[in-house]
Amino acid sequence: MDKLRAMQTFVAIVDQGSLSAAARALDSSLPAVVRTLAALETSLDVRLLNRTTRRQALTEEGLAYLDTCRRILGELHEAEARLAERHEAPTGTLVVTAPVLFGQLHVAPALHRFLRAYPAIKCRLLLNDRVVNLWEEGIDVGIRISPLDDSTLVAQTLGAIRRVVVASPACLAEQGEVTHPRELIGKNCIRAYGVGYAQWRFWEKGERGEGGREFAVPVDGNLEVNHGLAAIEACIGGLGYGSFLSYQVVGPLADGRLKRVLTDYEGPARPVSIVYPHARLLPSRTRAFVEWMKKELRDVPMV
């Protein structure tokens, strides 16, 4: 007996609702379908379907075996699809979302290189700083800077970031360097909307750096902006202290235009992940993009 063919026949009988309908769907004869089901039940030594002249119903064993058949046949279909894709260039439209500044700095350049490598793919890149619902908004892939709280999504970690406080050498010379977060009260702080701009959060470490608790410090200043890049430029210009995600200020920290302060009070690292709705039966364009971004962003300095 061809066991895979028998599994396909059993699934067709259940899906089509009758032996005769399954025979038509499989382009087979009714006697052949009957023989295949009987041989399958004999080989398993269980009854999969209770059948009468008017209706059929799955037995408890049949219900469990149906799930197994669907999984095996699905994995076989996926394996065959992957082999077929090796001979065809990925095509179609890909919809990607990412946080605004991370998307501008890292995702967009990597996407440009991806599209040059796969010219048959079209892409829509949506940059915004809200957490979007991939299912509801028809998005194929997202870049997330936060723990994943949706169990229906698959996530692969690309790196980690922290929220850091920085200031320019000129600002530190003028205002003095703070050694505890509460010393920010009364300092000129540049606030960016959307990140708790009126209160900055810190982590009070316990003994030997273990444990600890989160606390907030109210901040104020003479500049509020709705875009992180403008706030970073203001910090570089010496206007005041700023609070940013670490990847946003890697360059200014590396060349000395900004200095990182209050490092002992930084909170735990946050994962940067690439997420997508499901792992099985991904279109080749989505699978190619995920693998491309994993390689492109692997060495991006973040923390």
**pLDDT of 148 strictly over 60:** yes
pLDDT at site 269: 87
Q: How far apart are CA 108 and CA 264, in angstroms?
A: 33
Q: What is the pLDDT of residues 275-292, one digit of tens each?
A: 998 766 678 899 899 999
Quick one: 7 and 29 in the same domain? yes
Mean per-residue pLDDT for 124-131? Answer: 89
Distance CA 168, CA 235 (A): 6
What is the structure's pLDDT at 30? Answer: 93
Whole-model pTM over 0.85? no
**CATH no. for residue 215?**
3.40.190.290
> Based on the structure, what is the number of domains in the chain?
3
Min mean pLDDT across 102-106, 251-255, 296-300 is at 296-300
Is 200 exposed, middle or buried (CB count within 10 Å of its CB: 0-12, 13-18, 19+)?
buried
Q: What is the per-residue pLDDT across 74-105, written as a single tens digit (0 to 9) for each?
A: 888 878 877 766 656 788 999 999 998 899 98
Other CB atoms within 10 A of residue 69 CB: 22
**CATH number of residue 127's parent domain:** 3.40.190.10
In this model, does residue 211 exceed pLDDT 60?
no
Q: Tell me what the pLDDT averaged over the chain comes to.
A: 88
Q: Give the domain extent around 180.
A: 163-261
Does residue 140 share a domain with residue 212? no
- Residue 213's pLDDT band, with cuts at 50, 70 and 90, is confident
Return the pLDDT at 209. 45
